[in-house]
Structure 1
Amino acid sequence: MSKSNTMKAFGLSLCLGASAALGVGAAMLPSVAIAAPASQQTAIKNLNNLLSATNSMTANFTQTTRAGKKTTNYSGTMAVQRQNQFRWQTKSPAEQLIVANGSTMWVYDPDLNQVIKQSTNNQVGDSPAILLSGDPAKIANSFNVSQPNSKKNYFKLTPKSSNAGFNELYISFNGGKPVQMIVTDVAGQQTTIRFSNISVNKRINASQFNFTAPRGAEVISQ
């Protein structure tokens, strides 16, 4: 996976451009065959309730991306805070930093000493990032939501826009906390993100969501 795939895991195909075909869903949802699904209205309500209970979140993450027979693993840390603030820092095996403060997003590649800067106004709405950092009440505006098992807190989302950059997203909760996301992008690449050491609803310093380009770095505005 190229470094930009960290961004693709969140579906911001700018360059998040920050991941499930039937096989992915089956792996994640082992009891779907015998469980009754929730109605779409109930699924939206349940997902909104869970997301609304998470105003901020910090965690470690591991990311596994499968493209054909190739599998690539990444790890790092993340922080999100409503509204539309997030920090996604990949530390291994290569470094990359994505920061958004609600209006501007920066993508910094230390190896290239390059920063991509752009407005998030037209990027976040149809992306997985909005689930953890955006307005939960607006999720249904951008996604079709289903809950395959009405007794379990996992949800399938498909974007309504053809420009979303991904086809399907699964998000799973445990103890009210988001613990896993699985995304399939438009090229069929499948990304699984698992969160650990999760902390929710603690105030995060605003400095975590601002970025100043290092001296000498090339800055590309898009």
Structure 2
Amino acid sequence: MTLLTKQVSKQPTLKQKVMSGALTGILMGSLGVAAPMVALTQSATAAPADNLVAAKRLNKLLDNTKSMTADFTQTTKGARSGTFQGSMSVQRPNNFRWETKSPSEQLIVANGNSMWIYDKDLEQATKQGVDAQVGNTPALLLSGDPNKIDKNFKITQPYSNKNYYVLYPKSDSASFKSLSMSFNGGKPVMMVLNDTLGQTTSIKFNNIKMNPSISSSQFKFTPPAGVDVINQ
């Protein structure tokens, strides 16, 4: 079909709304991150790192992630509860691919200039502009410039001996409260998100491969024939 400038008439199911809302929120900042479960196992007496030290440590961890592929399990609790599984790829600078495979299929591809959201069941693809900076896009932390993170977030490390970080947006317009990431062996293994409406989304990564070679085609998207395309 031809390019559309308005919403098409197809209506998503509840299942699709859950998945689309959660995934789009991860990329566009409609979700935030709360403390992951690993925090519950930490000693209450462990001293936190100061903000400057925490920022340097997180920057180093992210800077060492030139590229990454992983499978993920994403669970959202709240008004739009659901559990989804899929795979993701990131590559600096600003290349991101997030593909949900179960229970429904959805693909999000960002390359720094634009972002595509493709819903196979709805036969619909949405193209949006995306800021190349970290800004208010939490998941792009994995593909953006780590040296700019502290300009947009207050970075904390609640336990100085654990690679667990909580980030708070400095912008008053951010739609999430905080963002946290846990690392194991230098690998990001968990993100837990908590939005301003009280929803909590946890993302656990497995089968992680650090700094693999990834084809540039993974970060490009061409809408299939017959798909409704919406430009935003």
Normalized against structure 1, the TM-score is what? 0.90
Relative distance call for 1:130 and 1:32 in structure 2 (3 A) is: farther
2:222 to 203, 212, 220: 212
2:91 to 75, 81, 89: 81
| Partner residue in 2 for 1:193 | 203
How far residue 26 of structure 1 moved from its aligned partner, in angstroms, is 6.8
| CA distance in 2 between partners of 1:162 and 1:29 (Å) | 29
| CA distance in 2 between partners of 1:82 and 1:20 (Å) | 22
SS for the counterpart of 1:10 is helix
Greater RCO, CA 8 A, separation 6+? 2
Residue pair 2:72, 2:88 contacting (<8 A) in 1 also:
yes
| CA distance in 1 between partners of 2:173 and 2:102 (Å) | 30
Q: Given residue 23 of structure 2, which amino acid in structure 1 is its aligned partner? A: M
| CA distance in 2 between partners of 1:6 and 1:123 (Å) | 21
Q: Does 1:160 align with 2:160?
A: no
How far residue 6 of structure 1 moved from its aligned partner, in angstroms, is 3.3
| CA distance in 1 between partners of 2:122 and 2:172 (Å) | 31
Unaligned stretches of 5+ residues in structure 1? none
Q: Does 1:51 align with 2:51?
A: no
Aligned residue pairs total 216
**Greater CA deviation, 162-171 or 206-215?**
162-171
How far residue 30 of structure 1 moved from its aligned partner, in angstroms, is 2.7
| Partner residue in 1 for 2:105 | 95
| Partner residue in 1 for 2:160 | 150
| CA distance in 2 between partners of 1:29 and 1:138 (Å) | 29
Highest Rg: 1 or 2? 2
Aligned runs of 1:91-170 on 2, under 5 Å?
A: 91-121=101-131, 124-170=134-180
**Greater CA deviation, 169-178 or 156-165?**
156-165
How far residue 7 of structure 1 moved from its aligned partner, in angstroms, is 2.1
Residue pair 2:27, 2:140 contacting (<8 A) in 1 also:
no
* Identity score, percent: 51
Residue by residue over 1:152-203, the C-alpha shift from the partner in whole angstroms, topping out at 9 and shown as x without a partner, is 1000001112333211111000000000001111211100000000001112
How far residue 215 of structure 1 moved from its aligned partner, in angstroms, is 0.6
Q: Does 1:221 align with 2:227?
A: no
How far residue 59 of structure 1 moved from its aligned partner, in angstroms, is 0.2
Q: Does 1:2 align with 2:12?
A: no
